Homo-oligomer: A and B are copies of this chain.
Amino acid sequence: MISSPDNATVPPRVVRSGSELLAIVRDARAGGQKVGLVPTMGALHAGHASLVDRSAAECDLTVATIFVNPAQFGPGEDFGRYPRTLDADLSLLATHGAAVVFAPSREEMYGAEHSTYVDVQRVSERWEGACRPRHFLGVATVVLKLFMLAPADVAYFGQKDYQQSLLIRRMVRDLNVPIRIEVCPTLRDPDGLAMSSRNVYLSPAERTRALSLSASLRRAEQLVAAGERDVSILLAEMHRVIADAGGVQLDYLAISDHQTLEELVRIEDQAVALIAARVGSTRLIDNTLLQLSS
């Protein structure tokens, strides 16, 4: 009999069927286990790993989901070429302690007659919602479906998708979904670029230009820390950082109330700087909270 080394990683149980997933999560909770859920579209990186780590630290059972959700991609977006790296994803999930991975087919998630959507109004309308019509309808719908199939105690999302995390909090509040939402910090490469599954699309030259997104956010943080409150001055500085890099087409650049996402004139309370831009054919988003030092 061969004994495993103590820190051997156990391959996660890969589940394809929603009803099987529901039974696993219900059994775990009935047995007194705390269940954490980490919904992803795969192509996992250290940002996702940090969510799994957090769940594994806080919960008895961590369930990750991998599903490239067609409902949240618009026509002409990158649904077809979105990176799909299941084997590498399973290795990463095993290393970080996800015991169950739900990786359903498109047919398992959306029957031919699917016609129900969850519409989180207001918070979905600006910024990403304005650039990507129906994107948040697809996000809210698939996340609610995953919450029904994996009725966990807690679900973990990244702050990188700031507006999405607000939207999910609102949905859970408004529809009384009994699950706690935790939003975890954005992870960055050493050069400052926010980790994203889409970064693999960038050429080396594009990647250099893309650094202006995080650089502009850092610049805003520095100015706010130094006492600047005037949003027009902050935005002008951010625009200058991005213009200097060249080759970055902004979709939007905004400093907004951190809850309503309405644009601000002055920073009086907590704000969020939001940015979306195209670098070559790659669309990137990033954000940072701007906190007044008291």
Q: Would A149 and B176 be within 8 Å (CB), given that A30-B30, A116-B118, A170-B115 are in contact?
A: yes
Distance between Cα atoms of A22 and B177 in the complex (Å): 10
Q: How far is the CB of A72 from chain B (nearest CB, A)?
A: 15
Question: On chain A, which size bracket covers the interface?
Answer: 20 to 34
* Contact, CB under 8 Å: B121 / A116: yes
* Contact, CB under 8 Å: A119 / B117: yes
- Our pick among B145, B151, B171 for the contact of A116 (Cβ within 8 Å) is B171
Q: Check A223 for interface membership: any CB of B closer than 8 A.
A: no
Distance between Cα atoms of A151 and B175 in the complex (Å): 13
Could you say which residues of chain B place their CB within 8 Å of the CB of A144? 175
Distance between Cα atoms of A177 and B23 in the complex (Å): 13
Could you say which residues of chain B place their CB within 8 Å of the CB of A122? 115
Could you say which residues of chain B place their CB within 8 Å of the CB of A245? none
* Contact, CB under 8 Å: B22 / A178: yes
* Contact, CB under 8 Å: A115 / B121: yes
* Contact, CB under 8 Å: B174 / A116: yes
Could you say which residues of chain B place their CB within 8 Å of the CB of A140? 116
Q: How far is the CB of A77 from chain B (nearest CB, A)?
A: 21
Q: Check A173 for interface membership: any CB of B closer than 8 A.
A: yes
Could you say which residues of chain B place their CB within 8 Å of the CB of A22? 176, 178
* Contact, CB under 8 Å: A170 / B116: yes
Closest to A116 in B: B174
Chain A contacts to B: CB under 8 angstroms: 18, 22, 30, 111, 113-123, 140-141, 144-145, 148-149, 151, 170-171, 173-178
